[in-house]
């Protein structure tokens, strides 16, 4: 077996990516503090063709050397916008028909593998601060909450790892 060279992978150019159809979801970052995590979100959003990323609260925005270091240029392909108030951004998406789901451990959450995504439905996934999680103000207005099952001794995944798990599960159900 041989690993593929980059030029054999038939990847989209930045321009082609921007014009390509995306999966019907948006990523919302609620006060993410780590620039490396922000860059990882961009890279995952590129790999899984997100519509856009909303950088909420004090989440930093490109251009920034530390974001680029982990995004590897994905901050140039993935659409993004800054939202000082995450609740306003969520309300706007809800008005457009998006179902907004927090990714959090909470009362009444649905385990990820049991969540019944509507194929072709528009979703927004909210990922919270690395220490505090999704803010209480945001939890009060989301349409639901999904939780990733865990079986070890730690109480959480790294937030950007959580994104990879959740977004792949969503995309997987929309590839038909």
Task: Encode pLDDT of 38-88 as tens digits.
Answer: 999 999 999 999 999 999 999 999 999 999 999 999 999 999 999 999 999
Which uninterrupted H or E stretch holds 101? strand 99-103
Cβ count near 155 (within 10 Å): 7
CATH says 6-174 is which class?
alpha beta
Pairwise CA distance, residues 124 & 101, whole Å: 6
Task: Encode pLDDT of 147-160 as tens digits.
Answer: 999 999 998 999 99
Cβ count near 119 (within 10 Å): 10
């Amino acid at each position: 077996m041989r690993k593929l060279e980059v030029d054999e992978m038939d990847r989209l150019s930045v321009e082609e990516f921007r014009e390509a159809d995306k999966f019907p979801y948006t990523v919302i970052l609620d006060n993410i503090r780590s620039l490396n995590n922000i860059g990882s979100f961009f890279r995952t959003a590129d790999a899984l063709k997100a519509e856009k990323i909303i950088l909420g609260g004090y989440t930093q925005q490109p251009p920034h050397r530390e974001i680029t270091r982990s995004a590897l240029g994905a901050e140039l392909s993935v659409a993004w916008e800054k939202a000082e108030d995450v609740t306003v951004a969520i309300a706007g998406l809800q008005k457009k028909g998006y179902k907004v789901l927090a990714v959090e451990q909470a009362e009444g959450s649905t385990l990820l593998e049991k969540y019944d995504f509507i194929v072709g439905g528009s979703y927004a996934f909210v990922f919270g601060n690395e220490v505090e999680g999704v803010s209480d103000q945001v939890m009060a207005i989301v349409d639901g909450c999904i939780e990733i099952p865990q079986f070890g001794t730690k109480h959480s995944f790294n937030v950007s790892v959580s994104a990879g798990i959740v977004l792949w599960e969503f995309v997987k159900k929309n590839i038909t």
